[in-house]
Amino acid sequence: MPLFNVYPLYDVTPVKAKGVYVYDENDTEYLDLYGGHAVISIGHAHPKYIEAITNQVNNLGFYSNAIQNPLQVKLADKIEELSGCKDYELFLCNSGAEANENALKLASFQTNKSRVISFKNGFHGRTSAAVAATDNATIIAPINAQQKVTILDLNDIESAKIEIEKGDVCAVIVEFIQGVGGLDEATANFFEQVDILCKTNNTLFIADEVQSGYGRSGKFFAFQHYEVTPDIISIAKGMGNGFPIGGILIHPNIEAKFGMLGTTFGGNHLACAAGLSVLNVIEDEELIDNVNTISKHFVKIAKTIPQIKNIKGRGLMLGLEFDFEVSDLRKKLIYDYHVFTGGAKNKYVLRILPPLNVKKEHINLFFEALVNALEELIKIQKR
């Protein structure tokens, strides 16, 4: 049976990985500065992660959400401890889209309203309400287009005010650092004003931290760079270091009712064991401090490279903007220099999303490769 052909693929076949390196079937080593779409947080095949998952699957891999699962409680407590988000409650699911879908659904239940505000170049996933809130007409099917969504320009506080004050908006959903879009951020004033508008108009403020969360921005959550209090925080990618797990942190103002949200697989024993080991490693290895140290080192070198026109993002959620489209550069980095990087909707931006335990020496290797690749591309263009 052929695979349904929805992914354009690079011709690389990873078969194993360790730390910040991935290896193909010929044992060729690739430096992973992309973390499989920002998923790898504590590094590939971390021994504590392997141990936690192995032990758990040997005991109990899965049982349903109809029984007591103390691992969910432990995970919730650990997220609270490391994030500093006191008193929120946790609902567990399996992916980023599912986290946002549940966040939007909850906002609609809570406010009894149904219109959503989101922002240009935002990406929130591919399920019905999440994709409708995503600024990409090509991935919105007619069935999704029935959702009531207004997509505004980031930083356009006047339009946000007009729309929120109409009174029919259940949620404003935002990425504090845009991932897929290309690392744009709104101003502190914009985020803080939107937060206030939400609080005064019975609208929930949803922080989509699916990509920017779990320390990637240099704080546990990217919204913590601002004075805002989201009603719902959605999480996924870095949470399981590759094990599928997502969730939403829910402000105590929102009351749970039996059956309002639910899932078969979400919060299963194995996923919780993976999630707990990720948080333990982030804490024990002080990975958020590492994010800040490595980010400074990265930016310092990036500033010395004349072809880089702009350095975007924060922490280890970074974008290098060039004055040419980066797809050939990305290919050259993969095939000739064996370095994985990412692209964005903004075709001029090379995305850098390494495991959070990346070291300075890896960044130096990346820049060596980048400088050489850029020189070769310039030579090719001159021919």
Nearer to ligand PLP, 96 or 267 (CB): 96
CA distance 177 to 119: 12
- Tell me the closest approach of the beta carbon of residue 174 to ligand PLP, in angstroms: 10
Nearer to ligand PLP, 332 or 351 (CB): 351
CA distance 367 to 224: 30
In 266-367, DSSP assigns E strands to: 310-314, 317-321, 339-340, 349-352
Sequence-distant (6+) residues with CB within 8 A of 354 are 20, 32, 33, 34, 35, 294, 316, 362
- Tell me the closest approach of the beta carbon of residue 254 to ligand PLP, in angstroms: 20
- Tell me the closest approach of the beta carbon of residue 297 to ligand PLP, in angstroms: 25
- Tell me the closest approach of the beta carbon of residue 244 to ligand PLP, in angstroms: 8
Asked if 181 and 344 touch (Cβ cutoff 8 Å), the reply is yes
- Give me the residue label for tokens 């354009």: 8
Residues of this chain that interact with ligand PLP (CB under 6 A) are 37, 95-97, 100, 123-125, 175, 179-180, 208, 210-211, 236
Task: Decide: residue 314, CB within 10 A, 0-12 exposed, 13-18 middle, 19+ buried.
Answer: buried
Nearer to ligand PLP, 37 or 359 (CB): 37
Nearer to ligand PLP, 272 or 373 (CB): 272
Nearer to ligand PLP, 76 or 207 (CB): 207
- Tell me the closest approach of the beta carbon of residue 116 to ligand PLP, in angstroms: 14
At 190, which amino acid appears? F
Nearer to ligand PLP, 152 or 210 (CB): 210
For ligand PLP, the nearest residue by Cβ is: 96
- Tell me the closest approach of the beta carbon of residue 314 to ligand PLP, in angstroms: 14
Q: Which of 93, 185, 174 is nearest to 134 (CA)?
A: 174
Sequence-distant (6+) residues with CB within 8 A of 312 are 182, 183, 184, 185, 318, 319, 320, 321, 349
Nearer to ligand PLP, 178 or 201 (CB): 178
- Tell me the closest approach of the beta carbon of residue 97 to ligand PLP, in angstroms: 3
For residue 305, the tally of other CB atoms under 10 A from its CB is 15
